[in-house]
Amino acid sequence: MNMHFEGSTSVTLLFDFWKVHGPAGMVLSVFVVLLLTVFYELLKVWKITLEKQKQSHITHPSNPVSFTPDHSCFAPVKSCQDGNSALASSRSEISLAPTENMVDTAGSTSTSKSWLFHSLQTAVHMLQVTLGYMLMLCVMSYNVWIFLGVILGSVLGYFLAFPLLKRI
């Protein structure tokens, strides 16, 4: 195997059955690799979308947290020299403590929905990593046309997929 790029129309990609011989097979193979790369970019956006959906399904506490002032904290504070009590009317950190226990927002999401999101994210991640390594191996065929197909697919996929993030 050559360890430099070459522009031939004969190459074996990924598997023994994907042998390319001739210009028509090379054009078809470049197109398939380009589509796989576009799909790879779409998977990245889908993964981000799933994460945003997971975060939007986290519920907030049903009971608002109320604060009660602790009037014992309003005692005058002695000043060093001039006798002013600058901190006399300020509340301490203790007086601002919540009166009710705060509800853990992450724990209020249903377990089944959480597992569903996590399983789906895991499947998308597995597919993304597998496809990424397959595309890397296609580039490692050191064929210029396949390499250009991966680069153009990445550019096209980014151009098509990432504006979708603004709509989410």
- Do residues 22 and 113 touch, judged by C-beta distance below 8 A? no
Residues 48-95 have pLDDT tens digits of 888 888 777 664 444 444 444 554 444 444 544 555 555 444 454 444
Residues 84-128 have pLDDT tens digits of 555 444 454 444 445 444 444 545 557 777 888 889 999 999 999
Q: What is the pLDDT of residue 116?
A: 85
Domain ranges (residues) in the chain: 10-59+110-167
Closest CA to 43 of 135, 109, 149: 135
Q: Tokens 């929905």: give the residue.
A: 113
